Amino acid sequence: MRLKLILSLLVSAVFTYLAFRNIDFALMWRTLSQANYWLLAPGLLFMYVSLWLRALRWGYFMKPIKPVGFQKLFSAMMIGYYGNNVFPFRLGEVLRAYAIGQSAGVSRMASFATIFVERIIDVISLLLLLGVSLLFHDYPAWIEKGGAILLGATVACTVFIVFLMKRTERTLSFVMRLLRPFPEKVKQVVSKLLASFLEGFGVFKKSEHFGTITWQSFAIWLCYAVIVYVTLEAFELNSRYNMPPGASLVILVMTSIAIMVPAAPGYVGSFHWVCQQSLMLFGISASESLSFAVVSHVVNFVPITLLGFYYYYRQHLDLRQAVANEEGEGSNGAGQSPSPNSHEDKRLPVREENSTQA
């Protein structure tokens, strides 16, 4: 754990150095001081609309497992964002699952399954945006390679999910055969995890839910693009550099890929450098681009972190307890949910050839 923390801090330090080297700090300060910060207000509004939509969408992912009220979903989601922004190792996902377990009695495995579904949908949406934004500008080679890797991983996950839903017994038998060399406890954990995934993806079995999730996902990313656009307007970059209509999409795609890079909490450094590079594609100076990156990071970081901390404090959560519960569940495969209504003990009775049930 300590080595991972050191490596993540090192990654952020390297990106921060790359972003700030050769910067004209006088120009950067002048750019920051001349920005019209009142124009960021619509961006903040769209940010909260996107959060509202995300909580609604998560509710649809939860429906096959257990209907959960919007307030509980929104609270747990914001706690997750808070955790990712201030704690290392993406502990926000652990906190999010722990929070919804405490408030709604949903097991951690089931919660993680819905979060995984959410991430798959987000990556698919990002890949679609990447394709559309290619109409407006060419990307650096490393972005295209990153997109190709994301595409390959997404296709592989999607194929597995489709087989898991359509050919459940055969797929699970195949997985169990792969796990034959492993201890029985490992098989039990995997079996319960796949059962939770089936519940999480069960929402797509209803066509009306599929349509709702599709438009919600589109609206979420549209909100993100608007946030980028109004931030560009605050610095008058659209007019001064005659940026094309799709510039916001290009910046959004590049920064979205940047936050996937393992780095320090809050994506410090990696976000700033990639955001800076995305603006420099349109002929904007490194100093002005970094000014935009700093403000954009603050706009996305501070309000969400403060709101997440409010919910974290109000729900009286304990990070150490959340991590301990997660480690305990992973080690024994039989961790108990915080609520008697939990789905924690679900396992798929999959028969493996020449083996016992997993």
pLDDT at residue number 336: 40
Question: 54, 308 in Cβ contact below 8 A?
Answer: no
In this prediction, residues 144-172 reach a mean pLDDT of: 79
In this prediction, residues 114-141 reach a mean pLDDT of: 80
Integer Cα distance of 67 and 89 in angstroms: 29
Average pLDDT for the chain: 84
| Residue of 327, 251, 250 lying closest to 296 (CA atoms) | 251
In this prediction, residues 160-166 reach a mean pLDDT of: 81
Q: Among 43-57, 97-111, 227-241, whose mean pLDDT is lowest?
A: 97-111
Name the residue with higher pLDDT: 246 or 341: 246
Q: Please spell the DSSP secondary structure of 218-231, one letter per residue.
A: HHHHHHHHHHHHHH
Integer Cα distance of 205 and 200 in angstroms: 11
Integer Cα distance of 78 and 161 in angstroms: 27
Q: Would you say residue 358 has pLDDT above 70? A: no
Q: What is the pLDDT of residues 115-126, one digit of tens each?
A: 888 888 888 888
129 contact partners, CB below 8 Å, separation of at least 6: 221, 249, 252, 253, 256
Q: Would you say residue 342 has pLDDT above 70? A: no
pLDDT at residue number 207: 57
Integer Cα distance of 281 and 91 in angstroms: 33
Q: What is the pLDDT of residues 277-324, one digit of tens each?
A: 999 999 999 999 999 999 999 999 999 999 999 999 999 888 777 777
Name the residue with higher pLDDT: 268 or 162: 268
pLDDT at residue number 337: 40
7 contact partners, CB below 8 Å, separation of at least 6: 262
Helices (H), 167-262: 168-178, 184-201, 207-234, 237-240, 247-258
Q: How confident is the model at residue 329 (pLDDT cuts 50, 70, 90)?
A: low
Listed ranges 91-95, 145-149, 150-154; the one with the highest mean pLDDT: 91-95
In this prediction, residues 168-196 reach a mean pLDDT of: 84
pLDDT at residue number 345: 47
Phi-psi region of 206 (alpha: psi -120 to 50; beta: other; left: phi over 0): beta
pLDDT at residue number 129: 81
pLDDT at residue number 47: 97
Could you tell me where the beta strands, DSSP code E, fall in 62-141?
Answer: none
In this prediction, residues 61-71 reach a mean pLDDT of: 90
Q: Would you say residue 83 has pLDDT above 50? A: yes
Share of the chain above pLDDT 70, in %: 86
pLDDT at residue number 344: 43
